[in-house]
Structure 1
Amino acid sequence: MKTLRIRKFTILCFFLILLLPWLFFLTAHFMETKTFRFTKSQMQNETLQRQLTETIHLIEAGVDKWSDTEWQNRLHQELLKAKMDVSIQSASGLEIYRSNPERRGALSSAEVFSVINDGQLLGRVTLYLPQSNTVPMIAALAGLLLAFFIVGMEMRRFLLKPLERLSVAAGQIAAGDWEAQLPLSRITEIAEVRDSFQTMVRGLQKSYRKQVELEEERRFVISAVAHDLRTPLFALRGYLDGLEQGIAQSPEKMAKYITVCKEKSAQLDRLVADLFTFTKMEYLETKLNNRTVDFRLVFQKSIDSLSPSARQKHISISDYSAVDCALNGDIHLLERAMSNLLDNAVRHTPRDGEIVVRCYPDGNQIKFTIRDSGPGFSSEELERVFEPLYRGESSRNRSTGGSGLGLTISQKIVRRHGGDLAVSNHPEGGALLEGWLPAGGPD
């Protein structure tokens, strides 16, 4: 739709306000001049007719006195009474007398006649009749009022109504009606405001949807973690009650109770730590503390931290990482991500199993893989493994000790660094986690 700048619209309105009264004035003046001819049938005013007759008789009777000053003064007085003007010329065209030098015949009703005596032309007389500006002024006023009316209607149509509808739409959107229609306008500035408002509404709608999703996810995380915290808490309280009541009387039984209590407290610690990390990644969106990082050393630190757990299950961890795997990133977050991935692999790898770790440069990316010799992922797990707190029905009893947030946190950390993470099953068996990070760091 073609639009008009408000400055141009205003100029057109002012032009109309100035032009229309002037057109009305000229039209009325032209019509009055055209219809007001010096004919007896058109002369409706008897006084004017009488004054005109007397003036013409005075001029014709005083042909020999046209140049006399006293006669001219007398004529001038009569003309003032009748509100007329006259111009007298000789037969040769020379002006003998003009009562009003400012009179312009083109703008007045005039009667031109010749004075002839015995067939001889004595002179020509132009008599300017009195003109009234009442009709043209009324016409000009009517034109001005019409111009204001037209301008007011157009301003209401192009300016006020779109703004009123925009205000109503804003109220509807504020009340939660995201489908409220924003009005169109042929004024460029209002159209630009509408477009900006529509962009803002889309942004608010997107933000609102995200907020709703985050709120639903937050409620789900809280309810799921609250449910999962009860199992180790009940077990921990039961074993502590047993110790307090003296059920564990032998040193071996007391050591077993204490070991179980330590395992349950460690499980609670992992739950709380994972929940805190997930919340921080999801809501705080803190700035990354980027610096040059040797990704091979990040893997090595994660392997070292999980080696005790792997040795308890007689699991071997083989590292085939390349030497040059430098990138820019937050070393603490990257260590947390890789530790979560390795911890997941250790927990799901059976005794005497194997975990193979590898990272290598590939163009402008650093790729990494973690493969274990466990059962791998089911088809459902492949689709939902990165969902918060999803662990699969077979592991809801927490026999593996996971929180269901580890893979989610790792994926968020990798994506915040500009990379991505994916899971699959290796053709030879076991789970395969593959990911990449930009060698030059995040944008």
Structure 2
Amino acid sequence: MLVEMSHIAPFAVMFSLPLVLLGAWLLLRRLVHRSLTTALSVLAIVPVLATIGGVLAVSQFMFNPIITTTLLVCSLVALVTVPTAVMLGRSIARRSVWEHEARARERAAEASRRELVAWISHDLRTPLAGIRAMAEALADGVVHQPHEVSDYAGRISTEADQLSAMVDDLFELSRITAGALRLTLSDVPLADIVSEVVAAEGPVARRKGVRLEASAATWPVVLGSDPELARVVRNLLSNAIRHTPPDGTVAVRVDVDGQEARLWVDDSCGGIPEPDLPRVFEVAFRGTPSRQPVGGGLGLAIARGLVEAHKGTIDARNHGPGCRFEVRLPLATAMAG
């Protein structure tokens, strides 16, 4: 047996080894940047070709029934292994792409969380420092005149309201991101929502000298949750008023487009840089210094989460002298149908 092996081994190695080395060279040099499917296919077929080369070398290319059978078996093996390698390669490639995208999303989410914590820490520190300073002034008797005490008390109350609003925003955002938002759906007339929010935001707009308008070609009814939809409109209006200069105009418009209700808010902010438009709904995104919001910068992120929870869409684009934030929601009749 050993004698026979010593005779046939040199021939088998002489013909099979070059094929193996060629396959290794292809994998390491020529196919290193190709698809995983191609690499696995080559990896599957190289051993089969090396086996065929060794068998032919040992038989000295003299075909007999045994060699023919061996070659047929190798061909059948190739017919099975190569398609299997192709399918396996595609499956691994899809999984690798999915894992890469998942890791990218996780990194982006973690970066967003760190950015949010940094901004919130800064924004919480500012009103807390003001409250502490005014409280110490009152406690030390530095401020003792009745009108001064009343003024300090009002300012402390304002700072506390700001802190409370930030905490409410964080709680709402945490419910949205955790999927814990539970909506109680009913038929909601957008006329009621818009009129209530415009009435609430009107004093803020007047103090800043901003004109606030609301109109509709028709007032649709949507299927949604009244408090959450009111918060969407309030966040959009508040954002628009904040970034519109005095003597500017903020307009709320409502219409129907097919099976959807359209609500959009136009402001006079001067526009948003095009690269920033896709990011305006991201958590804690602030854009240029001129657009940095007071508070945590969560209003638009919350608006997007609430709209999507209603199976609607929201987008932003530059329009006229400013920006347009448009919300689309399914009509109540469409949902019922």
TM-score w.r.t. the length of structure 1 is 0.51
Residue 208 (structure 1) aligned to one of 98, 103, 107: 103
Report the equivalent of 1:297. 192
1:285–1:156 distance in 2 versus 1, CA, 3 Å? farther
* 2:299 is aligned with 1:394: no
Q: How does 1:279-318 map to 2 (within 5 A)?
A: 279-284=174-179, 286=181, 289-310=184-205, 312-313=207-208, 317-318=212-213
Report the equivalent of 2:231. 336
Q: Which amino acid aligns with 2:328?
A: W
Report the equivalent of 1:277. 172
Instruction: Flag structure 2 segments of 5+ consecutive residues without an equivalent.
Output: 1-36, 38-65
Report the equivalent of 1:377. 271
Report the equivalent of 1:404. 297
Equivalent residue of 2:296, what SS?
A: coil
Alpha-carbon distance between aligned partners in 1 of 2:318 and 2:76, rounded to the nearest angstrom? 64
* 2:153 is aligned with 1:261: no
Q: Which amino acid aligns with 2:253?
A: R
**Cα drift, residue 255 of structure 1:** 1.0
Report the equivalent of 1:248. 143
Q: How does 1:45-60 map to 2 (within 5 A)?
A: none
Equivalent residue of 1:320, what SS?
A: strand
Equivalent residue of 1:273, what SS?
A: helix
Q: Is the 8 A contact 1:270 1:403 kept in 2?
A: no
Instruction: Flag structure 1 segments of 5+ consecutive residues without an equivalent.
Output: 2-142, 160-183
Q: Is the 8 A contact 1:421 1:436 kept in 2?
A: no
Q: How does 1:29-68 map to 2 (within 5 A)?
A: none
Alpha-carbon distance between aligned partners in 1 of 2:180 and 2:77, rounded to the nearest angstrom? 48
Q: Is the 8 A contact 1:329 1:441 kept in 2?
A: no
**Cα drift, residue 288 of structure 1:** 5.0
* 2:333 is aligned with 1:438: no
* 2:129 is aligned with 1:234: yes
**Cα drift, residue 200 of structure 1:** 3.5
Deviation readout 1:57-106 (Å, 9 max, x if unpaired): xxxxxxxxxxxxxxxxxxxxxxxxxxxxxxxxxxxxxxxxxxxxxxxxxx
Report the equivalent of 1:363. 258
**Cα drift, residue 192 of structure 1:** 4.8
Higher Cα Rg, which structure: 1
Report the equivalent of 1:115. none
Q: Which moved more, 1:317-326 or 1:379-388?
A: 379-388
1:251–1:386 distance in 2 versus 1, CA, 3 Å? same
Alpha-carbon distance between aligned partners in 2 of 1:288 and 1:194, rounded to the nearest angstrom? 44
Report the equivalent of 1:420. 314
Deviation readout 1:386-422 (Å, 9 max, x if unpaired): 34323331355x6xx3432212222333344232221
Root mean square deviation of aligned Cα: 3.8
Q: Is the 8 A contact 2:183 2:224 kept in 1?
A: yes
Deviation readout 1:339-358 (Å, 9 max, x if unpaired): 10112233344567653322
Equivalent residue of 1:284, what SS?
A: coil
Between the two proteins, the alignment pairs up a number of residues equal to 268
Equivalent residue of 2:112, what SS?
A: helix
Q: How does 1:93-172 map to 2 (within 5 A)?
A: none
Alpha-carbon distance between aligned partners in 1 of 2:232 and 2:211, rounded to the nearest angstrom? 20
Deviation readout 1:303-335 (Å, 9 max, x if unpaired): 244345345556554321344412223433322
Alpha-carbon distance between aligned partners in 1 of 2:285 and 2:196, rounded to the nearest angstrom? 27
Report the equivalent of 1:186. 82
Alpha-carbon distance between aligned partners in 2 of 1:309 and 1:243, rounded to the nearest angstrom? 29
1:155–1:225 distance in 2 versus 1, CA, 3 Å? farther
Equivalent residue of 1:357, what SS?
A: strand
Q: Which moved more, 1:310-319 or 1:228-237?
A: 310-319
1:156–1:286 distance in 2 versus 1, CA, 3 Å? farther
Q: Which amino acid aligns with 1:405?
A: L
**Cα drift, residue 270 of structure 1:** 1.9
**Cα drift, residue 275 of structure 1:** 2.4
Report the equivalent of 2:47. none
Q: Give me the identity figure in percent.
A: 27
Alpha-carbon distance between aligned partners in 2 of 1:390 and 1:210, rounded to the nearest angstrom? 16
Q: Is the 8 A contact 2:240 2:269 kept in 1?
A: no
**Cα drift, residue 361 of structure 1:** 0.8
Residue 117 (structure 2) aligned to one of 194, 208, 222: 222
**Cα drift, residue 157 of structure 1:** 6.1
1:317–1:158 distance in 2 versus 1, CA, 3 Å? same
**Cα drift, residue 260 of structure 1:** 1.0
Alpha-carbon distance between aligned partners in 2 of 1:441 and 1:350, rounded to the nearest angstrom? 40
Q: Is the 8 A contact 1:296 1:322 kept in 2?
A: no
TM-score w.r.t. the length of structure 2 is 0.65
Q: Which amino acid aligns with 2:146?
A: P
Alpha-carbon distance between aligned partners in 2 of 1:215 and 1:311, rounded to the nearest angstrom? 40
Q: Is the 8 A contact 2:212 2:250 kept in 1?
A: yes
1:243–1:154 distance in 2 versus 1, CA, 3 Å? farther
Q: Which amino acid aligns with 2:312?
A: G
Q: Which amino acid aligns with 2:81?
A: S
Equivalent residue of 2:216, what SS?
A: coil
Alpha-carbon distance between aligned partners in 2 of 1:402 and 1:304, rounded to the nearest angstrom? 22
**Cα drift, residue 264 of structure 1:** 1.0
**Cα drift, residue 222 of structure 1:** 0.8
